Amino acid sequence: MLDLAIIGGGPAGLSAGLYATRGGLKNVVMFEKGMPGGQITSSSEIENYPGVAQVMDGISFMAPWSEQCMRFGLKHEMVGVEKVIKNSDNSFTIKIEGGKEVQAKAVIVCTGSQPRRAGFKGEDEFFGKGVSTCATCDGFFYKNKEVALLGGGDTALEEAQYLANICSKVYVIHRRDEFRAAPSTVEKAKKNEKIEFITSAVIDEVYGDNSGVCGVKVKLKDGSIRDLKVPGIFTFVGLDVRNEILKQDDEKFLCAMENTGQVSVDLKMQTNVPGLFAAGDLRKDAPKQVICAAGDGAIAALSAMAYIESLH
């Protein structure tokens, strides 16, 4: 039986792995279906991680994280986890793709979240090269430049205001005339002179060249096309939390969840199921930043170690 199973190898999972192994746990496996690193590896530049003054691409930034963990004995199994189940003796069963099962005394779930893709032409091609889902991360690259933004929810209109503080203009493209965002948020955004709303409109295409995005073609209500010559487009069309491994056969979740689909945790990253922890973008109120996910992972590992110790 494993002492600890960590599911997901992004900043939260890797930090949990580092703290657990360096803290003396011997039998720790991180189940990560791809190469470790998480969603930040899709970013072309990260410049807001404290202590790392050099601007780096996401892959180079994350490479030393796994190297450091492995040095302390963390094992990486490159497999997808299908389900986590609680056993009657309070241990957990990790069901892995292909039918394999592993038992663990404690589990930290760090499967993150995934910004939903909107589905327009050019979105995948230019993702990370002008198409972004993170204004806090990438807004600064467009300082004093015009940008476009897609979506009409709270995230979209809040982020539009954040970008308006940095950029010369923000075009908010939304498919309806009504907004999903709170009325007060809509009102505030409408008062911002740097924001122009283009409503009842959809993105026809995002185009560019080797250096990245050069513009966005927007299809208006009357069928005409408006060509916005912007180097960046931010899409905020909702998030998909990767919580499916916590779903049981009866479709209920193993632990308490928020309405957003995020996992309810306390300040120790403990769920309401003893021995089950959640960290990073997956947990409630996550600020969705690498530094926060890393901090969560460290907290969850320390809590898991205390839990395992309490079993003796």
| Binding interface with ligand NAP (CB under 6 A) | 118-119, 150-156, 158, 175-176, 180, 236-239, 260
CA atoms in the 13 A half-sphere facing the CB of 6: 38
CB 148 within 8 A of CB 135: no
Using CB under 6 A as the binding rule, the residues of this chain from 18 to 47 that contact ligand FAD are 31-34, 38-40, 42-43, 46
110 is catalytic: no
Least distance between ligand NAP and beta carbon 275 (Å): 29
119, interface contact from ligand NAP, ligand FAD, none, CB < 5-8 Å by kind: ligand NAP
* Active-site annotation holds for 137: yes
Question: Under a CB-based contact definition with an 8 Å cutoff, are residues 106 and 4 in contact?
Answer: yes
Q: Site size for ligand FAD, by CB under 6 A?
A: 39
Instruction: Kindly state whether residue 159 participates in binding ligand FAD, applying the rule CB under 6 A.
Output: no
Residue 232 binds which entry of ligand FAD, ligand NAP, none, with Cβ cut-offs from 5 to 8 Å by kind?
A: none
C-beta separation of 106 from 16 below 8 A = no
Q: CB nearer to ligand FAD: give 76 or 105.
A: 76
Q: Please give the residues from 230 up to 249 whose contact with ligand FAD meets the rule CB under 6 A.
A: 242, 245
Candidates 302, 262, 309; CA nearest to 281 is 262
When CB distances to ligand NAP are compared, the closest residue is 153
Q: Is 57 a catalytic residue?
A: no
Pick 174 or 242: Cβ nearer ligand FAD: 242
The active-site residue out of 69, 110, 137, 292 is: 137
Active-site residue (options: 57, 134, 204, 214): 134
Q: Least distance (Å) from ligand NAP to the CB of residue 212?
A: 21
Q: Please, which residue, 30 or 198, has the CB nearer to ligand FAD?
A: 30
Among the options 3, 69, 110, 138, which is catalytic?
A: 138
Q: Where does this chain bind ligand FAD (CB under 6 A)?
A: 7-13, 31-34, 38-40, 42-43, 46, 48, 80-81, 110-112, 115, 128, 132-134, 137, 242, 245, 280-282, 288-291, 293
